[in-house]
Amino acid sequence: MNHRIARKTNALDSLVMGCLIFLIPTLSYGAAAHTGGKIQNNMIADTRTTGGFPGPGISLESASGAQVDNNTIYLAGSYANAIEYRFSDTTGALIRNNLTNKLIAHFDSATGTETTNVTTAQAAWFVDPAASDLHLVSSIANVVNAGTTISGLTTDIDGDARPTGAAYDIGADEFQPDVTAPSVPTGLSATAFSSTQINLLWLASTDASAGGIPATGVSGYRIYRKTGSNAFAQIGTSTAVSYSDTGLTASTAYTYTVAAYDGANNLSAQAPSASATTQAGTSSSSSSSSSSSSSSSSSSSSSSSSSSSSSSSSSSSSSSSSSSSGSSSGGSGGGGAPSDGFLLALASLTAARLCSKRRG
C-alpha cells in the first residue's frame, strides 16, 4: 500500500515527522505540485520478502524545495531504491542524513542535493525491523556522530536532543549509549578439584534496557581472586557461567568473586565471594625419601646377592681344598689308596726276604 501526500493537489510545506511506518513503504509528495515541505525523523520498515513491492520508502514527485532528513528505512524486498525523487519539476531537493539499506535514486531530470546518507544498513543494526523498531542497537561507525547539522532539527524521533554526541547521527534515532550495567551474578560457588585446581560456578546475569535505550546484553564475566587479606585481582574472563582456576598451590585457601559486563562495557558490582582450599598434594621430599629407600633396598639386595655369590665361591674353594688334602693323606698312609712308592718299597722288601731264606 502506498501512502501519498498531496496527490493531484497543490500543497505547501507539508510536514511528515516522527512516524513509525510498517508495511507502508511509500511516502510521496506529488503529482500536481508541491512546494517546500519536510520528511524528517521517520522509521519506515517493510520486512516482506515475497509478494508485490510497490516502490521506495520515500518518493518525491513534482516537489520543489522539499527536505528529506534523518529518516531510517529498511526494506527486505527486492525493490532497489529506498528514496526516489523524480520529474523535472522536482527541483532543489535536500536529502540528508538518511540511513537506508537500499539506494537513493533520481529520475526524469529531477534535481537535488544528497549529503551524508548511508545506504548500506544491515538488519542487525536495528532493535526489531519486523516491528518497525529501527533504533540502533550499538554505536555504528560512519552512522553515529557522522551526520550534517540541519537547522531547526534539534531532536530525534524519541524527542532526544540532537546532537547527543559530537555531531548529528545519521537516521531517525540519535543513538543513546547503554549506560546500565548488568545485574550482579548470584549463587557463586567454589570447589577444589585437585591440589592445583579450583572450579567456579554461578548463575547468569541479565541486562535490561532502561529509559527506552536498548540493552547491549551480557557479554561475559570477569573473574577475581585473592589469598589471605590481599585485595582481589582479576585473573581472567569467561563467556560461560563457569571458570576453572589452575596452577594453584596445594593445601591453600583461595577466595573468588565475579562481575558481569555488557556490550557497552558496563560492569556490574561484584558477586558475594566464595572460598575453597586446594587438596593436599604428595610432597616431593617424601617421594625422594621413598625413592632413596627403594634405592637402598635395591642396593642391599644387590649386596646380599654379592655376599651369596661370595659364599658360594668360598664353598667351592673349600671343596677344592678338601680334595687336595685327601690326596695328600693317601700318599702318607692317612687313608685312601696306597701310593706307587709304597707298593715299590713293599715289593723290594719281599724279594729280600726270599733271597735270605734260600741262602740259609
Q: What is the pLDDT of residues 54-106, one digit of tens each?
A: 789 899 988 889 999 999 999 998 899 999 999 998 999 999 999 999 999 99
Q: Is 262 helix (H, G, I), strand (E, B) or coil?
A: strand
Looking at residue 27, what is its pLDDT? 47
CA-to-CA distance for 70 and 83, rounded, in angstroms?
12
Q: What is the mean pLDDT of residues 178-186?
A: 93
**Res. 328 pLDDT band, cuts 50 70 90:** very low
Identity of the highest mean pLDDT range in 49-63, 113-127, 198-212: 113-127
Q: In angstroms, what CA-CA distances link 25 with 32, 57, 64, 198, 330?
A: 21, 4, 21, 58, 138
Strands across the sheet containing 2-5: 2-5, 26-29, 58-61, 81-86, 103-107
Is residue 96 within 8 A of residue 68, CB to CB? The reply is yes
Question: Is 71 buried (19+), middle (13-18) or exposed (0-12) by CB count in 10 A?
Answer: buried
pLDDT recorded at residue 287: 42
Nearest one of 277, 293, 297 to 285, comparing CA atoms = 293
C-alpha grid cell, residue 119: 545506504
Per-residue pLDDT of 26-40, as tens digits, reads 445 444 567 888 999
Is residue 325's pLDDT more than 90? no
Confirm if 281 and 251 have CB atoms less than 8 A apart: yes
Res 2: pLDDT: 42
Tell me the range of 218-227, 278-287, 297-306, 343-352 where mean pLDDT is highest: 218-227
**What letter represents residue 307's amino acid?**
S
Q: Which three cell numbers stand for residue 237?
A: 574472563
